[in-house]
Amino acid sequence: MAEKEQQVHPLAPADKHPRSDEESASSLQSKELKRKKRIKYAVYIAAFAVFQTGVILVFALTVMRVKNPKVRIGRVTIETMETNNTGAAAASFDLKFIAQVTVKNTNFGHYKFDNSTMTFLYDGVIVGEAIIPKARARARSTKKLDVTVEVNSRALTTTTGLESELSSNLLTLNSQAKLKGQVELMKVMKKKKSPEMNCILTFNVSTRNLQDLNCK
């Protein structure tokens, strides 16, 4: 090998110099170009990494963040309403109405929940129950379910509070429920969510209407 190099070298001087200058100049140029290209790629890759991190962050903070659905009573349609507050008998009420239960799901995946019990209370005493049937609220939508409810004052042990409330022409009920279900994201990620409902329904006794509905 050493010999061959020695053989080659003597031939070089005359016309190799200018060529080698050109060559070295162009190789320098191409080296510089390669270096610039490498920097460019590095910048692209870094920018892409930053962009992707941003996308993942936004995704994690919006799409993948599972929020608790909201359960409320949206509307009440009274079918029958009877109240007694005069005469010898104790004050009483008997109502049948359709409560429209709304399940608002703001997630990017559907919320599937089981049957659950909706409880109605008067002054802390359970006066009626109804079943919210199992259903599925689609992604970013509100599921509406009509639930028939029957409540009456038979379970009350004391009616003095009711008597005074009815005499002011009002009847106030409290409704509570807790759903049990899960939000499903991208068909793989499942997260349990148990939103609670707590509403106050105020009926107007003289007009037999729902006067006020307040859900938290």
Ligand X SMILES: *[C@@H]1O[C@H](CO)[C@@H](O)[C@H](O)[C@H]1NC(C)=O
Give 82's strand partners. Answer: 94
Alpha carbon of 18 to those of 6, 12, 42, 131: distances in Å? 20, 11, 36, 96
Ranges assigned E (strand) in 26-140: 70-84, 92-105, 111-113, 116-122, 125-132, 135-137
Q: Which is nearer to ligand X, 27 or 117 (CB)?
A: 117
Amino acid identity of residue 166, one-letter, is L
Q: How far is the CB of 69 from ligand X (least distance, A)?
A: 19
x/- string (CB under 6 A) for ligand X, residues 77-116?
A: -----x-x----x--xxx--------------------x-
Q: Which of residues 28-87 bind ligand X (CB under 6 A)?
A: 82, 84
- How far is Cα of residue 188 from the mean position of the Cα atoms in its chain? 16
Q: Please pick, from the candidates 52, 164, 167, 207, the single residue that binds ligand X as defined by CB under 6 A.
A: 207
Q: Which of 72, 79, 70, 74 lies closest to 149, judged by CA?
A: 79
The answer to whether residues 106 and 62 touch, using CB atoms and an 8 Å cutoff, is no
Q: Give the integer Cα–Cα distance in Å for 131 and 113.
A: 12
Q: Which is nearer to ligand X, 119 or 169 (CB)?
A: 169
Is 172 one of the binding residues for ligand X (CB under 6 A)?
Answer: no
Is 131 one of the binding residues for ligand X (CB under 6 A)?
Answer: yes
Q: Which is nearer to ligand X, 6 or 168 (CB)?
A: 168
Is 133 one of the binding residues for ligand X (CB under 6 A)?
Answer: yes
Q: How far is the CB of 102 from ligand X (least distance, A)?
A: 18
Q: Which is nearer to ligand X, 102 or 159 (CB)?
A: 159
**How many chain residues interact with ligand X (CB under 6 A)?**
17
The answer to whether residues 149 and 94 touch, using CB atoms and an 8 Å cutoff, is no
Footprint on this chain of ligand X (rule: CB under 6 A): 82, 84, 89, 92-94, 115, 131, 133-134, 168-170, 204, 206-207, 211
